[in-house]
Amino acid sequence: MQESDLHNLALAQRQPSTPPLHVAIIMDGNGRWATVRGLARVAGHRRGALAVRRVVEAAPKLGVGTLTLYAFSSDNWQRPPLEVAALMHLFHEYLRKETAECAANGIRIGVIGRRDRLGPILRREIEAAERATARGRALLLRIAVDYSARDAILRAARRLKPGRETTREEFSGLLANTIHSPACPDVDLLIRTGGEQRLSDFLLWECAYAELYFSQRMWPDFEAADLQAALDAFHSRERRFGTVLEAAAG
Ligand code: IPE
Ligand code: IPE
Ligand code: MG
């Protein structure tokens, strides 16, 4: 590639008007939200589900084409059984209640992660939600459940053909396939709520050049305006993808 092409590529990639964006969110802080109010942690998860509704509704209007939400990590199986059961129940309820509205609003649901450790009824609900919303083009809503980025990379790597060169793009496709995801671009913006600043094994490959945004807001308090604020911050940044932009190149 010519040097000028590289500059143009970098410029094109940083244009604020380059929709649709892939935004990923680590929805953290449900437990603390509940604890400071003297409530059980599960109450925080329940309120967190309402925040999901708000953000899913706002995302397509804000130029988001893919929204990936971290709902349950593979390490979250280590939580107390009652909390795990409540989270699975809430997820099931979300799919049951929201699928029809998502289908009506052009929102395609895709659940990413492992499926073999989920209950058969939940698995069937996932398949039904994916089927019912498969034609949606306004937003790809990926919900990460029993998800671990490192496990996903390992499982994809095991499927590589020995002795054959694999490109990054091919590996991305293999990885998406491994986690049952429809094809989508890499993450542009990664948001984590709840004040912690870590990745907790989320989308390690897909976030190679993601902009990172950390919010103090606990997830149940997250509003459309907070998503807007994160996107404003994103658009004010200069993404360089390892190159030097034209103005600086001289
Ligand atoms: C995020 O909130 C939801 C899940 C991990 C399922 P947490 O439950 O981690 O809330 P905090 O971090 O303990 O406050
Ligand atoms: C990450 O949050 C997982 C989800 C938000 C689903 P955790 O609360 O589990 O992560 P750690 O334990 O703080 O790293
Ligand atoms: Mg947490």
Which atom of ligand 1 is nearest to 32's Cα?
Answer: 14
Retrieve residue 68's tokens.
Answer: 């990936």
Residue nearest to atom 1 of ligand 1 (CA): 28
Question: In the block, which residue shows the tokens 């054959």?
Answer: 164
pTM, to two decimals: 0.93
Residue 95's nearest CA partner among 82, 110, 81 is 110
Retrieve residue 11's tokens.
Answer: 């410029």
Query: What domains, with CATH codes, occur in the chain?
Result: 19-235 (3.40.1180.10)
220-242: string of b/e by CB count within 10 Å (b at 16+)? bbbeeebbeebbeebbeeebeee
Would you say 72 and 45 are in contact if contact means Cβ atoms under 8 Å apart?
no
Q: 76, 105, 201, 221: which is the annotated catalytic residue?
A: 76
Q: Would you give the DSSP letter of residue 182?
A: P
Residue 18 has a pLDDT of 63
Helices (H), 105-217: 120-133, 149-158, 168-178
pLDDT along the chain (250 residues), means of 10: 44 55 99 98 98 98 98 98 98 98 98 98 98 98 98 98 95 98 98 98 98 98 98 97 83
Would you say 181 and 22 are in contact if contact means Cβ atoms under 8 Å apart?
no
Residue 213 has a pLDDT of 99
Which residue among 30, 83, 88 is best mutated to probe the pocket of ligand 1, counting the most ligand atoms within 8 A of its Cβ? 30
Q: 5, 8, 28, 146: which is the annotated catalytic residue?
A: 28
Residue 32 has a pLDDT of 98
Residue 30 has a pLDDT of 99
Q: Would you give the DSSP letter of residue 28?
A: -
Burial of 88 (0-12, 13-18, 19+ CB in 10 A): middle
76 annotated active-site: yes
Between CA 226 and CA 29 the distance in angstroms is 15
- For 181, phi and psi rounded to 5 degrees? -95, 140
Residue 249 has a pLDDT of 74
Count the neighbouring beta carbons within 10 Å of the beta carbon of residue 187. Answer: 22
The CA-to-CA distance between both ends of the chain, in Å, stands at 19
Expressed in percent and rounded to 5, the helix, strand and coil fractions of the chain are: 50, 15, 35
Between CA 85 and CA 101 the distance in angstroms is 25
